[in-house]
Amino acid sequence: MSAGVSEVTLRGIHHWLHAREKSQTSAKMSDSNPVNQEVQNFDKKCLKKTNTAEKNTLPTKEDIEQEKKACGAQGSK
């Protein structure tokens, strides 16, 4: 071990090199995956435009108050 280089520093370098090697290996594996290739080559122009409309709207504050009053009136009978 050279002077001025601690064991902790060497462990850190080893950990970094191992993580880098691992990420390069996984990148190579994902590049050969045919699904990833299809996604990368997909043409967005083939998609149709859709219009979305919200169907389940949240109740307003007034709706909640009316329901509370209706439930309160039924509970007192």
pLDDT tens-place string over residues 48-71: 888 888 788 889 999 999 999 998
* Contacting residues for 36 by C-beta, under 8 A, at least 6 apart: 30
| Amino acid identity at 22 | K
Q: Taking 50 as the threshold, does the pLDDT of residue 1 lie above it? A: no
Above 80 in pLDDT, residue 75?
A: no
Q: Is the pLDDT of residue 23 over 60?
A: yes
Residue 42: the pLDDT is 86
Its pTM stands at 0.27
Residue extents of the structural domains in the chain: 1-40
Q: Report the pLDDT value the prediction gives residue 72, as an integer from 0 to 100.
A: 80
